[in-house]
Chain A
Amino acid sequence: MDAAMGLQRRQTIDGHAHYLRCGEGDTALLLVNAFGLSLDIWHDLVALLSRRFTVLVVDEDTPPGERGGVPRTTYASLDSLQRFERAVRAIMASERRASCHVASWCSGAKFAIELARNWPEGIASLMLFAPSFAGAEGGVGADSAYETNLNTMCKLVARMPQSADSMARSMAAVMARNAATDGVETLAWVQEPFASAANMLEYSRQLQNFRAHQLGPNPGGEPLSLPVLLVTGEHDQTTSSERAAAICKDLAQPVHFDLQGAGHYFIHQDSELVVQLMQEFVAHGEDATATDPRLVRIHAAAALVSGEL
C-alpha cells in the first residue's frame, strides 16, 4: 500500500533508520500516524500533499518484503519515542533540511508534541488531527466509551493471551455480520489490529504503552512557541475532542477548528478540505483562516464563556 501511495522506502545516510518519502516540494512535512495502524488512512491525503510538500514518514516496520502484522513505529517498545526522535533527526539530515512541519492523526499526537518539545528548532509547526490522549491522568474530560472499551479489551488480551485467537475470529465474524446485515462496512485499516491473534497481542501491548505515555507539562511551564493547528471532528465518537482541546490549550496556543459533520476519520473522508487547511496553516500559521463553512473556528475565550454559562 505504501508504494501505491507513491511512498518510497529509504534508509538514512547514517544507516540507522528507515523512512518513507514522496513528493518534491520545497517544504518538508512529516506524518505521524496512529500507533498500530497502516498508513492506508493517509492514502488520499498523501496523494494531494505530495503535489506541494515532500512527505516523510518514519518507518520502523519489519524489513522490506516482510510487510504485514501491526506496524511498530510507535509504542512497540518502551524506547520507541527516543528511537523515533533519533530517526527524525537522521531523516532530516539525510534530506538536508533544517526543519519540517509535522502532522499527526489520532494517537500520533503525543509523539508529534514530544518531538516539538525536544527539537523546537527542527519543527516549524504542528498539525494535530483528531488527537487521542486516552489514558491521560487528570484534567478535563475522560476517555470516550470507545477508548474505555478498547482498553478493557486490550487488558483482557494481555491477561489472557490464549483467548486472542478466539477474540480475533469473533471480531472478524462480527464485522462480516455487520456488513451483511446492516450494510456497515468497517474500514479495512480499522480491522487490521484484530485480524489475527498475533496482531491483537501486539496491538494490545502498544495500546498499554500508549496509555502509559503521560505528556506532562512543557519544560519550564511555557507554552510551545511554534504554531499549532488542532482539528477535531464534530461527531467524533472515537476520542474525546473536549479533552484534546483542553490538553492542547495547556501545552500551546492552538488554532482550533471543529469540522462540522465529521467523525474520527476525516483525514480520509474530507482529505481535500484538510489539505486546503494544511496549506493555509503552513503559509499563514496562527493567522490561518478557513473559507469552508464546515470548518468552524473555536476560540478559547469563547469556549470559556460558553463553559461558564
Chain B
Amino acid sequence: MPAAPAFDQFISLVTQIVAIQVDPATLTRDTTLAGELALDSISLISLMALTEERFGVGFAEHADSVANLRTVGDAVDLIQHLAAAAV
C-alpha cells in the first residue's frame, strides 16, 4: 500500500506541472509519467525540483534514479526511500 500522504502530496505537485488536464482522482501508482501524464524531460525535472522542496529530499546524487522513473508509484517510492534515509 502506498503511504497516502506522500502519494497525495506528490499528486498535488503533478497537477501543478502537467500540461494536460488531469483529474487527480484518476491517478494511481501505475499512471505513467511520460505516457499518460505526457511529462517531457523538462517537465520531469521541474516536478522533481518541486518534490525536493516539498519533501525536503535531494535528487542530485540520484539523477539516474530520476531518469529511470516510469510511473507515479516509482516516484513515490523514491521519495519515501530518500526521506527515510534522511531521517
Which A residues fall within an 8 A CB radius of B? 145-146, 148-150, 152-153, 156-157, 160, 163, 165-167, 169-178
Contact = CB atoms under 8 A, between A and B. Distances in A.
B3 to A, nearest CB: 23
B58 interface: yes
Contacts of A177: 64, 67-68
Q: Binding site of B, secondary structure by majority: helix, strand, loop or mixed? A: helix
Interface string B35-58: 000001111111011101100001
Give the interface size bracket for B toward A.
Answer: 20 to 34
A160 B40 CA distance: 20
B19 A148 contact: yes
Interface of B: 17, 19, 40-46, 48-50, 52-53, 58-60, 63-64, 66-68
A176 B46 contact: no
Given A148-B19, A149-B43, A156 B50 contact: yes
A301 B82 CA distance: 59
Contacts of A160: 49, 52-53
A88 B64 CA distance: 45
A170 B46 contact: no
Given A146-B42, A169-B59, A172-B63, 20 more contacts: A146-B40, A149-B42, A150-B42, A152-B42, A152-B43, A153-B46, A156-B50, A157-B49, A163-B49, A166-B48, A166-B49, A167-B49, A169-B60, A170-B48, A173-B64, A173-B67, A174-B41, A174-B66, A175-B41, A176-B67
Contacts of A175: 41
Contacts of A157: 49
Contacts of A149: 19, 40, 42-43, 46
Nearest to B40: A149
In this complex, the member of B17, B59, B68 whose beta carbon has the largest number of chain A beta carbons within 10 angstroms is B59
A189 B85 CA distance: 37
6 contacts: A152-B17, A166-B52, A166-B60, A167-B45, A171-B41, A174-B67
Nearest to A166: B60
Given A149-B46, A153-B46, A156-B49, A166 B58 contact: yes
Contacts of B52: 160, 163, 166
A171 B45 contact: yes
Contacts of A148: 19
Contact of B45 (A145, A146, A174, A178): A174
In this complex, the member of A148, A152, A160, A170 whose beta carbon has the largest number of chain B beta carbons within 10 angstroms is A170
Given A156-B49, A170-B59, A175-B41, A145 B19 contact: yes
Given A165-B60, A169-B60, A153 B42 contact: yes
B44 to A, nearest CB: 6
Given A146-B40, A166-B58, A166-B59, A156 B46 contact: yes
Contacts of A163: 49, 52-53
Nearest to B38: A145
Nearest to B20: A145
A170 B59 CA distance: 8
Contacts of B41: 171, 174-175, 178
A195 to B, nearest CB: 13
